[in-house]
Amino acid sequence: MSNSVPTSPLLDMPLLPPFDRLRPEDVEPAIAELIDRCCRKLQEGLNKPGWESTLAPLEEVQDQLNRAFSPVSHLNSVLSGPWRAPYEAALARVTAYWTELGQNRDLYAIYQQLADSPAFSSWPQQRKKAVELGLRDFVLGGVGLEGRARETFAANSQRLAELSSRFANNVLDATNAWTWHTEDESELSGLPQTALAAARAAAQSRGLEGWVITLEGPSYLAVMTHADNRDLRERVHKAYVSRASDTGPNGGEFDNSAVMEEILRLRSEQARLLGMANYAELSLASKMAPDTDKVLEFLGDLAARAKPAAERDFAELQAFAAEKLGLAELQPWDIAWASEKLKRARYAVSQEELRPYFPYRKVLAGLFAVVEKLFGVTVEEDEQVPCWHRDVQFFWLQRNGERIAGFYLDPFARENKRGGAWMDSVCVRRQTTNGLQLPVAYLVCNFSAPTADKPSLLTHYEVTTLFHEFGHGLHHMLTKVDVAAVSGINGVAWDAVELPSQFLENWCWQPEVIAMISGHFETGEPLPQTLLERMLAAKNFQSAMFTVRQLEFALFDFKLHCLEQGASAADIQQLLDKVRAQVAVVPVADENRFQHSFSHIFAGGYAAGYYSYKWAEVLSADAFSLFEEKGIFDAATGERFLHAILEQGGSRDALDLFTEFRGREPRIDALLRHSGIEQQELNTTPG
C-alpha cells in the first residue's frame, strides 16, 4: 500500500473545480507551488524575449494560479468559516507575486520592446491591446520607482489586500452577530408569509421557538418594508446601518474605523508615489472618464437634475405619512414602510403582491429563453457537476449544440455567505497549448430560500438583480477573445463594465418578457393584466429618490478619494454629511455609519469608481433605446450587440465598441426618459 500523500486538485485544476475534493488544508502549499512555477516560467521567458516565448508561456502558468485561487476566494465568500484563514494566507502570497511582477523591469522591457517593434502594428488586435494594457499596468504597478519608494509601494499593496479582506470580514461578522428573537407573532404584524416562514426557519436552525430576524438582506428588507411594529423597524434599522462601526448594538466589536483610515492613507500614498495628486486620479488611469473634473461635473449635473424631483417625491411621502399613517415626522426607519404604503395607495401594487407570480425557477427559465432569443445561445443544467452547497446549480451555455461556456448559480441567502449579488470568474476563455479553454463564471445572489411549503418567490426587484448578474455573466462567457488579459471583462474599463448588466435589466420591464418569466407558483396563471399595468405604471415610483441615493454614494466615494492625505474616521463622517447636505433628501439616523459597511469601495473594485454605475447607465439606456426603435427581440440588433460589445471583451476601447454598436457616441436622454426625470440637456455625458 502506498503511503504517498494525495496530490491537491488545486495543483492540476480541471476546467471545473472539484468542489467535492477541495480541502482548506491544501490551499497554502498548492498556492506556494503554483507561484514557484510562475516564477520559474518567468525566468525562462526573460532569457528569450517574445510573445510566444515569454508572454504566452507566462499566461499559461498564471492561468493555472488564477484557476486555483479562484475557488478558494469564492468559498471564502459563500461559506466563509474554515476557508477564511487559508484564503487570507493565499491572498498574501498571491498579492506579493502580482506586486513583484508589476515591478519587474526586465519583463517591462520585453513588453516595451514588443510594442516598439516594426511588426507590432500588424499584430492581431487582441495581442496588441494586451501589450498596451500591460505597459499601462506596469506604470501603475510602480515599475518606474526606485529604492525606498519601490519597497514602500510593494509593502502598501500587500497591506491593502489584507485590509480589504479584513473590512469584508468585519461586515460579515457584524451581520451575523446580531439577531432578534420573539415568540410573540403579533410583534411581526405586517410581515408577509414568505418573511414569517423564513424567520421561523431561522429560529428553528438556532434551536429556538418562534421567529428570528437577522440582518441578512431578505430578512432586513422585509422588516423595513412591511413591519407595522415601528419599534422593531427602528431596532433593526439601527442595527443594520451601524454594522462594523463604533456605535449600535455591537459598537466597537467589529469596528472598521481604523481599517478605513489605513486604507485611505495607503491609497493616497500609492498615488503620490506614482506622481499623482490623489487616488481618484490613479483610479481613472484605467477608466473611460478622462479626469476627476469630468466625473464630478457628470455627477453634479445629474444631481442637479434629479434632486428637485427627489424633493417632490419626499414631500409627497411626508404628506401621505402625516395624513394617512399618523406619522407627523418621518424617521429613517419609516421611509421604506411608508413608501410601500403610498405605492399601494397610488398604484394598488406591491412587491409582495407580485412575489407569488415570480417563482425563482420560472424566472430562471424565462431569463434563459430571453437570452436565447437575443443571442442565439441555449442553457442546459448539468447535475453531475460537484458544487459547494445543495442549493447551487451548474449550467452549460451552448450554441448550435456545442458547449461554449459554463456557470454556477448560487441563488439563496444563508448564514456565513457574503451579502449582495455578484459575478466572478472561475476561468477565462483563452487559447491553450491543448486547445481552447472555455470561460466559466460564478453567479451569486441572496434571494429568500424555499421553505417547507413554498418555493423561492422573488420580488420584481430581485428579478432585475438576477438579470443584472446574468448580464455580467454573458460579458464573461460570450467573449470571442482568446488572450486572457483582454478576454471577457478583463481589460474592460471599469466604468463600462456595468453596461451589459444594466442593459439586460431593461427586458424585465417588457410585457412580452414578463409573460415569459412569470406564472403563479400554485396555479401557473400569468400575471393578471391589471396587475401588470399597475406594476409598469409604478416603474418610476420614487426613482428620483433612488437616483440621488446612488449619487450620494458615488459623490462620497469620489470626493473621499480626491483627498490628498487620506482621512480620519471623523473626517470621513464629515465628508459624508456634506455630500448628504448636497444631494440627499431623506433623514439619516444618528447611528448611521453607512461608510463602515461600504464594501464596494473598501473591499471591492469600486474605489473612486462607484460613479461607474451611473456612467454605464447612460451607455446601457442608450444601447437599449436602439431595441426600443427596432423591437426588443430584433435579431439583427441582438446580433449587433453580441458582436460589438459582448464578444469583444477588453480587446478594444469601450467607447469605440459602444460607438460601433450605436452608430454614434452615447447620449443622456434615454437614461433621463427611463428614469422618469424631466429631461434637460446635461453638460457632460460619457465619452
Q: Which residues are annotated as catalytic?
A: 469
Q: 466 and 458 in contact (C-beta within 8 Å)?
A: yes
- The residues pairing with 182 across neighbouring beta strands, listed in sequence order, are 211
Q: 438 and 332 in contact (C-beta within 8 Å)?
A: no
Containing 648, the helix (H) or strand (E) segment is none
Please state, in angstroms and as integers, the Cα–Cα distance from residue 670 to each residue in 338, 628, 681, following that order: 30, 10, 12
User: Hey, what's the torsion of the CAs at 412, 417, 422, 423, to 10 degrees?
Assistant: -90
Reduced 3-state DSSP string for 507-552: HHHCHHHHHHHCCCCCCCCCCCHHHHHHHHHCCCCCHHHHHHHHHH
Sheet strands side by side (includes 378-381):
378-381, 393-399, 402-412, 440-447, 422-427
Q: Which residues contact 320 (CB under 8 A, 6 or more apart)?
A: 338, 341, 342, 345
Q: What is the chain's length? A: 687
What gap in Å lies between CA 34 and CA 32, rounded to an integer? 6
Within 13 A of 48's CA, how many CA atoms are on the CB side?
Answer: 7
- Output phi, psi for 238, to 5 deg: -65, -35
- Output phi, psi for 211, to 5 deg: -135, 145
Q: Which residues contact 174 (CB under 8 A, 6 or more apart)?
A: 215, 243, 244, 250, 253, 254, 597
What is the DSSP code (8-state) at residue 211? E
Structural Rg of the chain based on CA atoms: 25
User: Hey, what's the torsion of the CAs at 549, 552, 555, 556, to 10 degrees?
Assistant: -130
C-alpha cell belonging to residue 148: 525606498
- The residues pairing with 181 across neighbouring beta strands, listed in sequence order, are 212
